[in-house]
Structure 1
Amino acid sequence: MTTQPDGKNAHRPEDIQPEMPLVEHLLELRNRLLKMVLAVIICFAAIYPFANELYLLISQPLRDLLPVGQTMIATDITSPFFAPLKLALVLAVFVAIPVILYQLWSFIAPGLYAHEKKLAFPLLFTSVVLFYLGAAFAYYVVFPLVFGFFTAIGPEGIVELPDISSYLNFVLKMFFAFGVAFEIPIATILLILTGATTPEDLAAKRPYIVVGCFVIGMLLTPPDIISQTLLAVPMWLLFELGILFGRLARREVEAPDATDTSNE
């Protein structure tokens, strides 16, 4: 095992992949992007025939809370067509996320060292699962509480007839907000592994992080304390989870170097 002048272990030559010419990199990137687009198109073709049924499913949390005899409306003549179409397209991207991330992984993997690959793939897999968990949390926990709050707080004599396009924009925004918020452990681990910060520094900044979570919850959710809290509290807990796993990941990265040093 060779060492660098500063005493740190150098990476083994067999870990380093041969460099590719720029043109080959661009061709590889183009092929990966085409596969991502193809995956989205295939998912869209499979989802679109069921777009109307999926819209009914995604609007169920609100429709269940509307008074008897009231329903959703379309204020634009094209909304009954474009709202399900937009939903099908967004769901196609959501469903294709594993393929998209796999293509990204395949593109960058040759430039990674062995110990980096060992951690990168689990992080990619976990990021997909966390994004889906965030969307599921929004649908099953947040939507019933938020819609229950809004439908109950309105003045008497006001008939609620939600527009299907406005509702879709709202729920997609919430799905995205909670999906991204649930990626906090991955972001925290990456910051620790890249050396941008340490678990100890993050723990010392905990009060500022908690305040930041509530500020983000205020910006990304409707102006009610329920949805803001339902986003801010999971973000804080996921931040703490990221610190915990960040410590474990750092030990995993440092372990091979310690082993190599002891064998010299």
Structure 2
Amino acid sequence: MSTIEDTKTPIQPDQQDYLNEIPDEVEMSLFDHLEELRQRIFFSLIAVFLGMVGCFIFVKPLVKWLQIPAQGVKFLQLAPGEFFFVSIKVAGYSGILVSSPFILYQIIQFVLPGLTRRERRLLGPVVLGSSVLFFLGLGFSYYLLIPAALNFFITYGAELVEQSWSIDRYFEFILLLMFSTGLAFQIPIIQLVLGFLGIVSSGKMLQGWRIVVLGAVILGAVLTPSTDPLTQSLLAGAVLGLYFGGVGMVKLTGH
């Protein structure tokens, strides 16, 4: 009677030690770490400032693009300088977005010396996946959530109320919703990191599905600035899809 041997090659202790090593480890004092952190924060702030200035130069086309989901609603400036401060707000958010690759680079360069070879393997996929998911969240919000919410508000009582909105309140609404959705789309990345580090397995993530459903509903209500159920349901559904998709990815990695 023949036996079937396990074809999986176990990781040898020497290889384990190699993966757990910190390559090119350099001893640094606490003061040196704080000084490096200060410099990288300073460079990041400079990048954000330059991004804001660049976006402010082209802010009017950005404002027009962000007004498209409003379906031709008339915007009002209810106080002197309101549109100017709205322009600064739009340029601020856009500047952070434009400078985010440089900020990510500074974060990576700060944490990289303290990472083992095993942890460095995860760094590239995490950064790339996080960036892609964030922009997918922005697109999901702009093309689905915002039009759904605005359509609800425009059609509700349209025969009784003329639609004239404060431009400041409008941009506060859509910018908050877009960036909140982008952050919510980071859920699979958090799951992958937790699974890779062995903190939570895919089985444990799946066992708590009832709590996740409740949390998604609460998150949808908290992150959406509007109170309409359609927008909250769309965001909650997206969060659930991302969570269970993240469980599947953690399962595929063997954790």
TM value normalised by structure 1: 0.85
SS in 2 for 1:59: helix
- Paired position in structure 2 for 1:38: 46
- Paired position in structure 1 for 2:245: 241
- Paired position in structure 2 for 1:225: 229
Find out whether 1:178 has 2:177 as its counterpart: no
- Cα distance change, pair 193–2 in 1 and its aligned pair in 2 (3 A): closer
SS in 2 for 1:162: strand
Amino acid at match of 2:247: I
State how far apart, in whole Å, the 1-side matches of 2:22 and 2:186 are.
33
- Cα distance change, pair 13–225 in 1 and its aligned pair in 2 (3 A): closer
Shift of 1:227: 0.4
CA deviations 1:67-111 (Å, max 9, x no partner) are xxxx11011112021101111011100111121111101100110
Amino acid at match of 2:80: I
The answer (yes or no) to whether the contact 2:133–2:186 under 8 Å persists in 1 is: yes
Find out whether 1:205 has 2:213 as its counterpart: no
State how far apart, in whole Å, the 1-side matches of 2:112 and 2:146 are.
38
SS in 2 for 1:96: helix
**Structure 1 segment 22-171 matched on structure 2, within 5 A:** 22-62=30-70, 64-66=71-73, 71-154=74-157, 156-171=159-174
- Cα distance change, pair 246–124 in 1 and its aligned pair in 2 (3 A): same
SS in 1 for 2:159: coil
Structure 1 portions without partners, runs of 5+: 252-264
Structure 2 portions without partners, runs of 5+: 1-11
The answer (yes or no) to whether the contact 1:217–1:229 under 8 Å persists in 2 is: yes
Q: Match for 1:17 among 25, 45, 54?
A: 25
The answer (yes or no) to whether the contact 2:137–2:184 under 8 Å persists in 1 is: yes
State how far apart, in whole Å, the 1-side matches of 2:196 and 2:96 are.
29
State how far apart, in whole Å, the 1-side matches of 2:24 and 2:136 are.
36
Shift of 1:180: 0.9
State how far apart, in whole Å, the 2-side matches of 1:115 and 1:158 are.
60
The answer (yes or no) to whether the contact 2:21–2:116 under 8 Å persists in 1 is: no
The answer (yes or no) to whether the contact 2:130–2:189 under 8 Å persists in 1 is: yes
Amino acid at match of 1:237: G
Paired residues, number: 242
The answer (yes or no) to whether the contact 2:59–2:91 under 8 Å persists in 1 is: yes
- Paired position in structure 2 for 1:260: none
Shift of 1:242: 1.2
SS in 1 for 2:247: helix
State how far apart, in whole Å, the 1-side matches of 2:25 and 2:208 are.
39
- Cα distance change, pair 133–183 in 1 and its aligned pair in 2 (3 A): same
Identity %: 29
SS in 1 for 2:76: coil
State how far apart, in whole Å, the 1-side matches of 2:22 and 2:112 are.
15
State how far apart, in whole Å, the 2-side matches of 1:187 and 1:13 are.
24
State how far apart, in whole Å, the 2-side matches of 1:183 and 1:60 are.
26
- Cα distance change, pair 75–23 in 1 and its aligned pair in 2 (3 A): same
TM value normalised by structure 2: 0.88
- Paired position in structure 1 for 2:3: none
Shift of 1:13: 4.9
Amino acid at match of 1:73: L
